[in-house]
């Protein structure tokens, strides 16, 4: 039985439309060089220490590596920081800590009538500076992973009551740093309270709390990067330590760049296109989304991106 011509044309037209849809779907721009690992609902806030997205109106944080969501419950206000894998909130006389893995939560009460400042954070210990008394003097206190005092020592007199060096993005160094009056630096080991004097004249805190010290001599920068007080690497480069690649802390950059762009389908070159984030350098990849994209963290293992109301972590293929 022969199919009527009108029906044949209708079937052919439907097949063409279907084929065009399939081709369009197969050739539409998509994520490349990356594969999804996890996703979670986003919160509005700032990235602290390059490690956690912390809500601005509540003490809720999302670990940008694992996707773990933690909260400090009724704790409000205070100065937030990230150190040693913890979200830390310092208020007038107390310090609250919560592990970014969601396994620990504690509150430490500082000495009465003292001003508290955060100094450093390692996986085992958070270091706090407590200043008070008449005349004013400072001491350094180590708080362990359960919120208990593990050690206490007077702050070296060479530093006076000077404030510690911490990251502007809320990142605490893995090794504490205090400046002396003659411009040299005092390092503090969080685990043991050991004090070490360094002749370096500049200090900065890089991503994940890496401490970077530098000295410029003879037109060259000697830069030392500390993971712990006993694990460090030193490199010498032309120019001053404050020049190029974001300054002293540039040595802690992940070696990749991220560029925002928009991409069109070849068969529909109209409109604004779809938002993309392109990773290049040591690793390459592209994230394509339907909503505005924001890179929250880029490291050697992957990229964490906010896509509208969702945060997604991608690993490199």
pLDDT digits (tens, 9 = 90+) for 282-306: 788 888 888 889 999 988 888 999 9
- The mean of the pLDDT values for the chain is 84
Query: How many helices and strands (H and E) does the chain possess?
Result: 1, 26
Average pLDDT over residues 77-85: 90
Least confident of 12-16, 115-119, 182-186, 248-252: 248-252
Structural element, H or E, at residue 10: helix 5-27
pLDDT at 229 exceeding the cut of 70: yes
Map tokens 């390459």 to a residue.
Answer: 284
**pLDDT value of position 13:** 57
Given a cut of 60, whether residue 8 has pLDDT beyond it is: no
Residue 260 is predicted with a pLDDT of 79
**Within 13 A of 7's CA, how many CA atoms are on the CB side?**
4
With H, G, I as helix, E, B as strand and everything else as coil, classify residue 174: coil
End-to-end CA distance of the chain: 54
pLDDT of residue 4: 66
The set of residues, in sequence order, having a beta carbon less than 8 Å from that of 156 and lying 6+ positions away, is: 178, 180, 186, 195
Which phi-psi region, left, alpha or beta, contains residue 273 (left: φ > 0; alpha: ψ -120 to 50)?
left
| Per-residue pLDDT at 141 exceeds 90 | yes
Check pLDDT > 80 for residue 125: yes
Residue 275: CB atoms within 10 A of its CB come to 19
> What residues contact residue 8 under an 8 Å CB cut-off, 6+ apart?
none
Tens digits of per-residue pLDDT, 153-188?
999 999 989 999 999 889 999 999 999 988 889 999
206: pLDDT strictly greater than 90: no
pLDDT of 253 above 50? no
Least confident of 9-23, 72-86, 93-107, 225-239: 9-23
- SS3 sequence of 92-146: CCEEEEEECCCCCEEEEECCCCEEEEEEEECCCEEEEEEEECCCCEEEEEEEECC
Task: Give the pLDDT confidence score for residue 301 in this predicted structure.
Answer: 87
66, 101 in Cβ contact below 8 A? yes
Give residue 22's pLDDT band: very low, low, confident or very high (50, 70, 90).
very low
Residue with the bigger pLDDT between 259 and 64: it is 64
For residues 288 and 274, the answer to whether their CB atoms sit within 8 Å is: yes
Q: Compare 53 and 248 and report the one with higher pLDDT.
A: 53
Question: Residue 212: which residues within 8 A CB-CB, separation 6 or more?
Answer: 203, 204, 205, 206, 223, 224, 225, 226, 248, 249, 251, 252
| pLDDT attached to residue 257 | 76
Q: What angle do CA 177, 122, 235 make, to 5 degrees?
A: 55
pTM (global) more than 0.95: no
pLDDT of 51 over the 70 cut: yes
* Residues 190 and 84 sit within 8 Å (Cβ to Cβ): yes
- Quick: pLDDT tens for 84-103: 999 999 988 899 999 999 99
- 68: confidence class by pLDDT, cuts 50, 70, 90: very high
The pLDDT, as a whole number, for residue 251 is: 39
């Amino acid at each position: 039985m022969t199919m009527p011509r009108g029906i044949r044309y209708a079937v052919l037209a439907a097949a063409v439309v279907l084929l065009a849809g399939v081709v369009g779907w197969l050739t539409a721009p998509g994520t490349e060089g990356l594969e999804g690992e996890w996703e979670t609902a986003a919160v509005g806030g700032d990235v602290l220490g390059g490690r956690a997205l912390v809500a601005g109106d509540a003490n809720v944080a999302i670990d940008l590596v694992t996707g773990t969501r933690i909260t400090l419950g009724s704790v409000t206000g205070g100065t937030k920081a990230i150190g040693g894998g913890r979200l830390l909130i310092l208020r007038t006389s107390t310090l609250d800590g919560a592990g970014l893995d969601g396994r620990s939560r504690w509150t430490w009460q500082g000495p009465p009538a003292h001003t508290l400042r955060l100094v450093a954070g390692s996986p085992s210990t958070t270091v706090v500076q407590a200043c008070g008394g008449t005349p004013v003097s400072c001491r350094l206190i180590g708080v362990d992973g359960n919120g208990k005092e593990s050690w206490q020592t007077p702050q070296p007199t060479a530093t006076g009551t000077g404030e510690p060096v911490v990251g502007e993005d809320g990142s605490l160094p893995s090794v504490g740093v205090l400046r002396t009056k003659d411009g040299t630096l005092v390092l503090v080991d969080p685990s043991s309270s050991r004090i070490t004097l360094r002749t370096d004249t500049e200090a900065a805190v890089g991503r994940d709390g890496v401490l970077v010290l530098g000295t410029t001599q003879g037109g060259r920068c000697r830069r030392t990067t500390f993971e712990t007080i006993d694990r460090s690497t030193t490199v010498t480069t032309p120019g001053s330590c404050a020049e190029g690649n974001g300054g002293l802390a540039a040595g802690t950059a992940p070696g990749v760049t991220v560029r925002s762009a928009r991409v069109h389908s070849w068969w529909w070159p109209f409109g604004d296109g779809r938002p993309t984030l392109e990773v290049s350098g040591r690793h390459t990849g592209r994230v394509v989304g339907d909503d505005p994209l924001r890179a929250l963290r880029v490291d050697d293992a992957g990229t964490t991106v906010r896509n509208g109301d969702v945060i997604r972590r991608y690993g490199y293929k």
